[in-house]
A and B are shown apart, each in its own frame.
Chain A
C-alpha cells in the first residue's frame, strides 16, 4: 500500500497535536493487544505443565517452561482412538496441499492466459461462468462430490481431496491470473507471434516467467485456503487420511481421559504454524491475494 506523500489529514499543531498522537497510539496499541492476546494465551499455555495450568491463571506466563505439551501434541496426543499425535496428519496435509496448489496454480495460469491473451468469442462468458464457482456455498456440491469420489474409488483418500481442492480452487486461480494478465501489454504476445512463437511457446518462454508476482500471490492464497480447509477434510476423509485441521478438532474434542489443555494449545499452534510462517514471510503477497479475493477486476 502506498504511503501518502503530501499533507495528510492530521497536521502538526503543537500540544493539542501531541495529545492527539498519544491517544492515537494508545488506541492502536490496545487493538494490537486485542489481536495478539489469543496468540499469547496459546503460546504461553502450551509451555506450561498441566499442573501449572490448573494452579495459575489464563494470562499468567509460564514459570517453568516445558516443551512437554509440544512433544505430546506432535507424536503422542490422541486423535480419536489413535494416539500418534498430529505428525501423521501434518504429512497428510502436506501431501494434499503441495500437488493441489501446484496443479491448480498451473491450470489457473494457463486458463487466465488463454482467456485474456487469445480472446476468442465467448471468452468473457466462459470466465464469468468459471468465476461463479468461487462463490458457491460448498454445501451445495458436498453430496454429489461424495458420490463421485466413491465412484472414482477415491473416497476417503488424499488423492480424492487433491482432486476436490484442485477443481474448486480453479475458479480462484483463474481469477488471479486473469486479473494479472489483463494488465500485461498484448504487444509482447503479438511481437512473439510475429517471430513465429506459438501458444505454448509464448506461455512458457515469455508469459510464465514474467508472471512471478501473480504466481506468488496465487500459491500463497491456495496454500492458505487448502491448508486451513476443514469442510472438505471432514466430509471426504476418514480417520487415517484426515488433514491436520480435522485432526486438531478431534484432539480438542476427544472426551476420553484427562483434558490436557496445554496439549490442545500446542496442537493448535502446530497446525497454524505453516500458514502463519507464510504470512510473516510474504505478508504483502498475502494481502494482495486477500484484496484480489474481493474481485477487484
Chain B
C-alpha cells in the first residue's frame, strides 16, 4: 500500500508496449499530485500563511491599521497589562474545568445507563444528543430567557410561592460565567455521552462475562474494569471538550454578550472585540496567538499519537 500503485502496475506490463511514453501518460502519472497541490496550497496560504501573518502582526506596532515595523514583545506586554485579558483567562479556566468536568460526569453516567439493554435506547439517545444540532446562538437565546431573573426560573419560583427565591446569576458579574457553563453543558454533554457509549460498546463482551462469573457487581464491573479500559475514549473526549471550550465564542455572545461589563469575556470574545470593535490589531493578534499556542499544546501531541497509531 505504501508504494505508488501506478508504478507497480507499469512494472507488471511488458516493457516494449510502453516504450514511447506519451505526454498524456506522464500527465496521468502525476495527476494525483497535480490534483492535491492546489488544495494543499490553499491550506498553506489560508492556514499557515495567515497564522504567520497574525504572529508577525503580534510583534509589530500595529494599532488601528497594520504596521509592519517590528516592535518585539510590546503587544504581549500590553495584552498582559490589560485587566480584561486576565478576566478572560480566568473565565476560560473556570469555564473549561466546570464544562469539561460536568460533561464527563453526565456523559459517563448517561452512557452507562443507556448501556443497560434499554429497548427505546434509540429514541432516548436522539433526545440526549439533539442540542448538538443547534447553533450556540439558539442555545444562548433560549437559556438567556430561562435564566433571566424577571422572566425565567426566578419568576417561576416566586410565582410558585417562594417570594424570596433569587437566581440572578445571569446579571450578577460574580456568577454570570456559571450561566455559560450551564448552557454549555446542556448543549455538549450529550456529545460526551455518545462518545462514551461508543467506547462502552467496543469493550469485549467476554470481559464482562468473566467479571460476572467472578461475582463482580454491575457497579464494580464498570468502575474497576470497564472505565479503566476506556482511557483512550476519556482522553479524546477531554481533548474535544477542551477544544470546544477554548473556541467558545457564540454562546457567550448570545447568552451574556460578554457582560455584565466584561465579566464573562473569554479569549475568543476578547480577541473579536479588540480586532473588530476597538481596532487594536496588535493586541488582538497577540491574544489570538496565545489561543493558538494553547490549542497546539493540547492538540498536537494528541494528533501525533492518533495518526501514528493508525498508520499502516
Binding site for B on A (CB under 8 A): 1-11, 24, 27-28, 31-32, 34-36, 38-39, 41-42, 45, 57-59, 107, 110-111, 114-115, 117-121, 123-124, 126, 128-133, 135-145, 147-148, 167-168, 170-171, 174, 182, 186, 189-190, 193-194, 198-200, 224, 227-228, 230-231, 234-235, 245, 248-249, 252-253, 261, 264-265, 267-269, 271-272, 275-276, 278-280, 283, 286-287, 290-291, 293-297
Contact = CB atoms under 8 A, between A and B. Distances in A.
Nearest to A272: B138
Nearest to B191: A290
B205 A5 contact: yes
B254 A297 contact: no
11 contacts: A131-B303, A135-B243, A136-B51, A139-B271, A142-B288, A249-B137, A249-B254, A252-B141, A261-B145, A287-B194, A290-B191
A170 B134 CA distance: 22
B118 A28 contact: yes
Interface in B221-273: 221-222, 236-237, 240, 243, 246-247, 249-250, 253-254, 257, 267-268, 271-272
B127 A32 contact: yes
B247 A137 contact: yes
B239 to A, nearest CB: 8
Contacts of A107: 39
B83 interface: no
B133 A279 contact: yes
Main secondary structure of the interface of B (DSSP, over half): helix
A10 B186 contact: no
Contacts of A286: 129, 132-133
Interface of B: 1-6, 9, 28, 31-33, 35-36, 39-40, 42-44, 46-51, 53-54, 57, 66, 106, 110, 113-118, 121, 124, 126-146, 151-153, 155-156, 159, 186, 190-191, 194-195, 197-198, 201, 205, 208-209, 211-212, 218, 221-222, 236-237, 240, 243, 246-247, 249-250, 253-254, 257, 267-268, 271-272, 275-276, 281, 284-285, 287-289, 291-292, 295, 299, 303, 306-307, 309-311
A10 to B, nearest CB: 5
B33 A235 contact: no
B271 A142 contact: yes
B306 A141 contact: no
A253 B39 CA distance: 39
A119 B4 contact: yes
B195 to A, nearest CB: 6
The 5 closest A-B pairs by CB, nearest first: A297-B310, A118-B32, A228-B135, A279-B133, A230-B250
Nearest to A245: B137
Contacts of B145: 41, 45, 58, 261, 264-265
B212 A140 contact: no
A246 B3 CA distance: 49
Given A128-B307, A141-B46, A144-B50, A271 B272 contact: no
Contacts of B212: 7, 9, 11
Contacts of B121: 3
A7 to B, nearest CB: 6
A115 B36 contact: yes
A143 B218 contact: no
Given A28-B114, A42-B142, A249-B253, A35 B128 contact: yes
Contact of B135 (A11, A168, A230): A230
Contacts of B135: 227-228, 230, 245, 248, 271-272, 275
Given A128-B307, A170-B42, A231 B249 contact: yes
B4 to A, nearest CB: 5
B195 A58 contact: no
Contact of B50 (A128, A135, A145): A145
